[in-house]
Chain A
Amino acid sequence: MRMKRNRVCLKKLLIIPVCVLFIFSLSSCNATGKYEKRDIDEKIIVHALGIDMTKEGKFEVTLQMLVQQGSGSNTPIDPSKSNSATVSQVAETIPAAIEQCETDLGKKAFLGHSELILLGKSVTDLNPILDYFINAEGISLGTFMAYTDITAKEILNIKVTSGTYSAEVLKEIFEESQKNGTSTECELIRHIDNIENTNGTTVMPIIKKIKNDKKSSNEKEDASSDIKFGETESDKSKNKSGNEEVGGGSSGSESSSQSEGGGSGGEESGSGGGSSEEAEVTAFYIDGAVIVKDKKPKSVMSRDEVIGLSFLNNGVAEQTIDAKMGDTLTSVSAASVKKQTGVSMKNDRIVIDVNLTIAYEFNKTFSDKEQKEVGQKAAERIHSLCQEAIDKALKEDNADIFEIHSLLNHNDYSVYEEYKKNPEEILKRVDINVSINPQI
């Protein structure tokens, strides 16, 4: 009796999901006007967005999207070829530029799978950009946001043949750099969070492309050398592309270009497809970071300063530190283990004591005494890196990229209230003392 009742009830229950599915299927039949039904092939799956500013103060938006290059492959996506293409448009606002890209392609852009938002060197104000992405439909909070020392368009036009699509490789480069501390945290949500808490301060890594002259990674340019963020370079980047143009599509717009990844892959804008194997595989690297203050790029941190900052923010999984023993240079692997902070007031100064426990792994066999000595040298090196970061960000730029707001909020609320009213004044009174506790 009871089983029969249960069966009847189960039948009733089954009807409910069937009803839900049926009615929602009916909803999707409404295929006209605003809600026109679009198949997956009628959408552009955007993997990376690039934003540059033109001299006229307009936005040049570049969308890097997935295109299937499956000929000769068993699967629709051939990982041995570049599966990405780009489209660019210029407009007064970001949504208008994206809309123009959509018009050119005759497809709707889907930003839900975007992995990277790249800001060109010419971007001077993050306000409209953040406003757009905070409200953008479906964009993931974990999307990476970074600067480049050239135009975003140039970076996105580089075709990478390793991986399924270019943005995937770019993301992997960021992830790996974050692990070794050469890149700061760059998720969209972390930038928004920092900017909300600090009246517009955050720090964004800089991605650079390896030049065509086969420079090795050891010969990369120094981050701080002659880079001035805020300069428009749209004219430089225009017509640089050596890729195949697949459609004019300007349709009255001021600037428009589309390029599609070539078959052999590895071509870079301007290279004409003749770049070396080395350039094909390691086309990008992270070098330095931009300090953003009042939502505007203020200055550039060098690679060493960024590593120091990563140690201070307890974000290094593994970084090779050089230590000199007598005349020989050796190296150890260092990783952040624990960070202890204390806030105290001394006279008028706010003193933040940071005690970092760093674990070492030695790449060579040492005696106990030598291990201690190398450890000590490495600790000194890390201390100097941290100090460089503090000098640059706090002393020079008066920028809160060390989570000072959070420390004050948790330790001294009255100072935090002052900080909220006038962060500049409070930051001038902050001293950060770093001590390293090596764990061998």
Chain B
Amino acid sequence: MRKISFGQMVIILFLSRIFYTMTFIPFMYSDVTCQIIGFSICTAIECLAVIPMIVLYKKHPDKNICQVIYEKSKLLGILTCVVFALAAVLVINRLFRYFGYFVYATFPDFLPTWLVIGAVAAVSFYAAFQGIEAIARSAGITFAFFGLSFIIVILALLGKMSFSNVIYDYPKFDDILHEIYYELSKFSELLLFPILYPYVKEKAGKSVYGALALKLIFVYVITTVCVLTLGSFLNISKFPFFDLGTYAETFIIERLDAFLLPAWILVAFIKTSLLLLVGKIALSTGFKRVKSNVFLLVLTVAAYAVSLPSVLQEKWNIDVLDKTVITIFLIVLGVLLPLVFCFGKGDENEAE
């Protein structure tokens, strides 16, 4: 089995989360004060929520959660594998809708949305087909590109930031609760890590915390830059992160949104390919007789087919699915199942 490094795992987990921050609420509910408080509390909850996964990894470093459950109960194992694949399809569906909305809102006359997400699905299929190593290396390049373009945009915006743009509201308890709940639904690490940890060479447990720390830093920086630059426009902006690019200018280039655009596409592609890979690994664990790439093809087609009606009808936000259903899936698969199966005897080559 080809393995990836600790750093690559951190980047993979980080990029899978930062996609939502780049989209940053096309469907904004509460003001930025509640968002940042909700986000901070949710990150603390996430730090606790990953403990069962890490314990499971320590006990079974070479087996993913599906393998662990499959060995204890074949039926439950198969069920878990199917649910993991289903969750992956649902999260991809959400990603396709959000990405579709971005394309629809920003370039309505250039490309049909169904074709764009079809392109992302096709490329992601190829990347997942190549395996975790190819995705991890692509993620490294994407991260470097994302970081560089963001730094350029920040530098171009320095002169336009002002503390007088900061207008805060006293946070309301209900809004904070809502933000925590919403933030939890974006916690993709819960879905990715229990399947992918056997592919990490070392310190897999720490990689989750590394990703959480990186996420915390980037989200704080992005939010601060958005607030200092955009002011109250933040409350009515569809894509605040992208708007930073449209507002930034240098002596040579008038607007820098073109810098952020490729990063957005690449992050969407990395996240989709990771979720396809997770689905493929899960299904091939439960159904060993079928070739894993068949599952990959089925998952890609399924994710695209499920997303297509919403995209064609321009239903970008499905609240019940995006918040409730996905959050339940993430908590069951990423917290409850590892919690149940982290007890008992571990494998001999237990991770340090």
Contacts and interface: CB of A to CB of B under 8 A. Distances in A.
B255 A140 contact: yes
B177 to A, nearest CB: 22
Given A9-B133, A141-B246, A192 B233 contact: yes
B340 to A, nearest CB: 37
Given A20-B119, A27-B111, A30-B115, A406 B126 contact: no
B134 A9 contact: yes
Interface in A162-212: 189, 192-193, 196-197
Interface range, B side: 35 or more
A240 interface: no
A296 interface: no
A12 interface: yes
A23 interface: yes
A8 to B, nearest CB: 10
A27 B116 contact: yes
Contacts of A410: 166
Given A23-B122, A409-B167, A16 B138 contact: yes
The secondary structure that dominates the A interface is helix
Contacts of B249: 142
Contact of A9 (B107, B112, B137, B246): B137
A417 B36 CA distance: 21
A410 B169 CA distance: 10
Contacts of A15: 126
B233 A189 contact: yes
Given A16-B126, A20-B123, A141-B246, A193 B232 contact: yes
Given A189-B233, A193-B231, A35 B269 contact: no
Contacts of A403: 164
A410 to B, nearest CB: 8
A196 B231 CA distance: 9
Contacts of B141: 13
Contact of A35 (B112, B119, B134): B112
Contacts of B48: none
A377 interface: no
A19 B126 contact: yes
Interface in B239-286: 243, 246-247, 249, 254-255, 265, 269
A406 B164 CA distance: 6
A406 B167 CA distance: 6
A23 B118 CA distance: 9
Contacts of A413: 170
A28 interface: yes
B277 to A, nearest CB: 14
A353 B119 CA distance: 59
A15 B109 CA distance: 29
Interface residues of A, number: 35
Interface string A126-146: 000000001001101110000
Interface in B56-109: 105-109
A197 B247 contact: no
A197 B232 contact: yes
Contacts of B126: 15-16, 19
Contacts of A215: none
Nearest to A24: B119
A405 B232 CA distance: 12
A113 interface: yes
A192 B246 CA distance: 15
Given A13-B138, A406-B164, A196 B236 contact: yes
B111 A28 contact: yes
Given A16-B123, A16-B127, A140 B167 contact: no
A35 B109 CA distance: 5
Nearest to A409: B167
B235 interface: yes
A134 B170 CA distance: 26
B266 to A, nearest CB: 8
B168 interface: yes
A35 B111 contact: yes
Contacts of A428: none
Interface in B216-235: 230-233, 235
A369 interface: no
Interface string B112-134: 10011011001100110010011
Interface of A: 9, 12-13, 15-16, 19-20, 23-24, 26-28, 30, 34-35, 108, 112-113, 134, 137-138, 140-142, 189, 192-193, 196-197, 403, 405-406, 409-410, 413
Complex A-B, nearest 6 residue pairs according to Cβ-Cβ distance, in ascending order:
A196-B232, A23-B119, A193-B231, A141-B247, A406-B164, A27-B115
5 contacts: A16-B127, A140-B254, A142-B255, A192-B232, A406-B166
